[in-house]
Structure 1
Amino acid sequence: MGWQQPNRKGDLMAESVNNIIQCNNRLKIEDNDVESVRIWDLGHNLGLQCPGDEESIVRELDRLEARDNEVKKVSRVGYSNIGWIHNEGTNAAGSIVTMWHKDAFSFGSQVVGTGFIAVVGQHLKTNRQCIVVNVYAPCNQNEKVVLWDVLTTLKQQYHNMAWCFCGYFIAVRRDDERKGVRGCSRQRKEIDIFNCFIENNGLLDIPFVGKKYTWFKSNGTAKSRLDRILVSQEWLQIWPASKQYVQQRTVSDHCALVVKSLDKDWGPKPFRSFDAWFMEPNFLTMVKEKWKSYNVQGKQYVKLKDKLKLQKLDLKMWSRNTYGCLESNKKHIVKEIEELDGKDDNDALTGDGNMRRLELFSQLGLVDKKIDSMYRQKTRLNWLKYGDINSKFFHLAIRWRRLRNEVKGVEVDSQWCEEPEVVRREARLLFENRFKATHDYGVNMGSLEFKTLTLEVSRNMIACFSEEEVKEAIWQCEGAKSPDPDGFNFNFIKNCWDVMKSDIMEAMHSFHASGSFPKGC
């Protein structure tokens, strides 16, 4: 028998098959787990090391294999009620998948580009058109700027629709959104560019609920808020209570984000007086007549409180029945003007019709002034009093202020809760504990010497309040501010001073005599 070269390839295959059989026998697994054992055996032969016993490793590989098979099933076959679009990215990097449920979203069209998928469609429950953009931004700053420009151009083409930009932006808006990352000068430029993209497109970073950061380095030395959800003003008109909830992080270095718009019943809205009411010709007369008609009993400050309460109820009814909705009134006026313009085009407009049109234009101007006044007051942006009117900006500022000041919920026993009753209870307990009186102040003034007031100044400090003194104090206050949660701002008090001053001064004299206000006043 002659010498033969050993078949090394065949030996390796036999050895590998033998290892698989041994591993199967050792782990006592089923036939459908052979692929997982094959993957682990191959990695083991290549020198791969992994902590843990073989059985747990193979079980985890089997779980991942089952998950991949499920994804492939959706990709190749697809479920009848699930729609999807896949962007493969570049060199297997930046791959994006956007999926939707056909019972909730009706697909219209798509725009796929480098680093994003934009899906245009209709939300079936609200019957509103919207665009959802799934973003996977590149790491390179220059490529990122190109992506921001492409998205800006895309939004300008559909500027009146509800937009939602979500995904992995790889950019932060403030320094405190990134921790343990070097390169401050580069970060500052990146922050400015990203904020410019958001502001130029009129987007809002809706409130976060949960973790502060969405990306974590595996060794725990760095973390950032690289994932976020940005929405347009039109989106908030449909879903005004939109918030982004940060989910728990498992094996991934990112936290998933979920958008929810949960409308909770917090009870009746608090009363607020609006300066635009005084533009109504008979408003001040109505307030005076109502105020004088209130017949209440009790101490002076109690009488003032009860009168304000009755005034509040009458103003609510007047605003609902007489004042009405300004936006609705404006639509009716514009519609009637268009009808008269149509008659004028056909030479069918009479002299009375022309006078009516002039009257409607005058009413339209007054309604616009009222709307602008209410928007200024709601936004509380004082510098805009003397600036240009931009209704879209006002709407955006109002909604952002509401979202920013809104109480999202409370954490009770490590559990997040948004139920109104629980939030009210926890808020009350918080302030009760914080402002609870204590006799142990722990302050020792020692032998400190303080400057003292002269006798004349001391007498003036405890002298009875004069009407001029009280009026001066009120007029020095900002008109749009409210001195109390009752909702009557200082502009209301100033405009109604002649009718309210006697009750206010009697309450001030009563306070001067007793030195305190009773609870609830």
Structure 2
Amino acid sequence: MVNLHSSNDARKKRLLWDKLLNFMNNNEGEYVLFGDFNEVREESEKFGSIFHPDEANVFNLFIGSSGLVDIPLGGRKFTWMNKSASKMSRIDRVLVTSNIFEYFADLKLTTLVRGYSNHLPLLLQDLKHDFGPTPFKCFNSWYLFSDFDAMVKDASSEIMDNRAFYHDKMKLMKQRIKKWVKSKKANMVLRKVEIFSRINDIDILVESGNDTEETRIERRDLMQELDTLNRVDDMDIIRKFRVKWDAEGDENSKYFHCLLKQRRNGQMIKGITVNGEWLTDPNATKQAFFEFYANKFAGQSSTYLDLGHQRAV
């Protein structure tokens, strides 16, 4: 565990990154680096001061070369603020080697209340919150179909009128979506056969010299449609393999399991800010999401899927 306070001088910071990288390469083990790095990774981590992309690139290169993972920050966006509140930046952070997630899969980094210092204290903890079972998984490929919005809204309007419990309603929604996906997949198979047959006919016309401008445009459009259909299949295959790999794995995949846990740790919602308050309690978080979406859906008819991509209030 390395507690550090980097210099403001760009040359000294580079020397520090090189020294740390050399030490880590020559001393095997897991590392946790924390403290005031006096450096940001991107322009959005600064406010009111000049962003130096070259220095940020050197810092990012150090993180990538050393195999370190930047733990996502919860609670506040910036960790440092000057006395006049005209300048802010995220210069305090915690970096860990990826294998750390093999032992602590639920690492969370949260800001605490500021005291007399101009830096926010940070709390690193291995804390797992149980939000309950996930009703169902949503595949990104479904959003490529233009009628997915209408299907979900129609199904939800029927199901929500049902007096069943919420969990049972989600089961009904899952059944409706599975039925819709099955129908779409069957239509895609038939459409692919039609496209291949028509492209073959056009190719014969081209070889015989009897093609026209219209047939060439038709062939281009058919190829684009075929690419879209193949992209849907590819997205589903990748998703299914990830799920299977994550669930079963194999004896030689420790490194890749670490990457999966690292990605999952970065994507999961560790908390949300509501009216300036950072909430991590599962019940309070669920209630905040419920109220947020209830307000969004009230009187709206065309924003269902767009709202589904939002990750925080």
TM-score grouping bracket, smaller chain normalisation: 0.5 to 0.7
> Does the CA-based 8 Å contact 1:378-1:398 persist in structure 2?
no
- Report the CA distance between 1:396 and its aligned residue: 4.6
Which residue does 1:428 correspond to in 2?
290
Distance 1:379 1:141, change over 3 A: farther
Q: Secondary structure at the match of 2:113?
A: coil
- Report the CA distance between 1:266 and its aligned residue: 1.9
> Does the CA-based 8 Å contact 2:75-2:272 persist in structure 1?
no
1:234 to 95, 99, 104: 99
Greater RCO structure (CA 8 Å; 6+ sep): 2
Quote the Cα distance in structure 2 between the aligned partners of 1:202 and 1:134. Answer: 18
Quote the Cα distance in structure 2 between the aligned partners of 1:148 and 1:215. Answer: 21
- Report the CA distance between 1:211 and its aligned residue: 1.8
Quote the Cα distance in structure 1 between the aligned partners of 2:30 and 2:256. Answer: 17
- Report the CA distance between 1:162 and its aligned residue: 2.8
Which residue does 1:141 correspond to in 2?
10
Which residue does 2:269 correspond to in 1?
407
- Report the CA distance between 1:268 and its aligned residue: 3.0
Distance 1:433 1:233, change over 3 A: same
Distance 1:403 1:252, change over 3 A: same
Quote the Cα distance in structure 1 between the aligned partners of 2:277 and 2:90. Answer: 22
Distance 1:206 1:307, change over 3 A: closer
Which residue does 2:20 correspond to in 1?
151
Which residue does 1:172 correspond to in 2?
40
2:124 to 224, 237, 259: 259
> Does the CA-based 8 Å contact 1:376-1:394 persist in structure 2?
no
Q: Greater CA radius of gyration, 1 or 2? A: 1
Quote the Cα distance in structure 2 between the aligned partners of 1:391 and 1:166. Answer: 28
Distance 1:438 1:149, change over 3 A: closer
Quote the Cα distance in structure 2 between the aligned partners of 1:418 and 1:146. Answer: 39
- Report the CA distance between 1:172 and its aligned residue: 0.5
Q: CA-atom RMSD, angstroms?
A: 3.6
Quote the Cα distance in structure 2 between the aligned partners of 1:264 and 1:438. Answer: 32
Q: Secondary structure at the match of 1:162?
A: coil
Which residue does 1:201 correspond to in 2?
66
Deviations 1:421-470 (A, max 9, x none): 2222221221111011269x9xxxxxxxxxxxxxxxxxxxxxxxxxxxxx
Q: Percent identity?
A: 29
Counterpart code for 1:226: I
> Does the CA-based 8 Å contact 1:138-1:144 persist in structure 2?
yes
Q: How does 1:62-141 map to 2 (within 5 A)?
A: 132-141=1-10
Quote the Cα distance in structure 2 between the aligned partners of 1:225 and 1:148. Answer: 18
Q: Secondary structure at the match of 1:422?
A: helix
Runs of 5+ unmatched residues, structure 1: 1-131, 274-301, 310-372, 381-389, 442-484, 486-521
Quote the Cα distance in structure 2 between the aligned partners of 1:235 and 1:188. Answer: 29
TM-score (norm 1): 0.35
- Report the CA distance between 1:399 and its aligned residue: 2.5
Distance 1:199 1:143, change over 3 A: same
Name the stretch that deviates more: 171-180 or 239-248.
Answer: 239-248
Deviations 1:243-280 (A, max 9, x none): 2111222322211111112111222356669xxxxxxx
TM-score (norm 2): 0.57
Distance 1:192 1:375, change over 3 A: farther
Runs of 5+ unmatched residues, structure 2: 139-171, 180-237, 246-251, 303-307, 309-313
Mapped pair 1:188 → 2:56:
no
Mapped pair 1:211 → 2:211:
no
Quote the Cα distance in structure 2 between the aligned partners of 1:133 and 1:378. Answer: 35
Q: Secondary structure at the match of 1:204?
A: strand
Residues paired across the two proteins, number: 206
Counterpart code for 2:61: C
Quote the Cα distance in structure 2 between the aligned partners of 1:253 and 1:265. Answer: 34
Quote the Cα distance in structure 2 between the aligned partners of 1:421 and 1:135. Answer: 37
Distance 1:211 1:410, change over 3 A: closer
- Report the CA distance between 1:175 and its aligned residue: 0.6
Distance 1:379 1:199, change over 3 A: farther
- Report the CA distance between 1:164 and its aligned residue: 0.8
Quote the Cα distance in structure 2 between the aligned partners of 1:209 and 1:434. Answer: 24
2:242 to 371, 374, 377: 377
- Report the CA distance between 1:392 and its aligned residue: 6.3
> Does the CA-based 8 Å contact 1:243-1:259 persist in structure 2?
yes
Counterpart code for 1:259: L
> Does the CA-based 8 Å contact 1:379-1:401 persist in structure 2?
no
Which residue does 2:30 correspond to in 1?
162
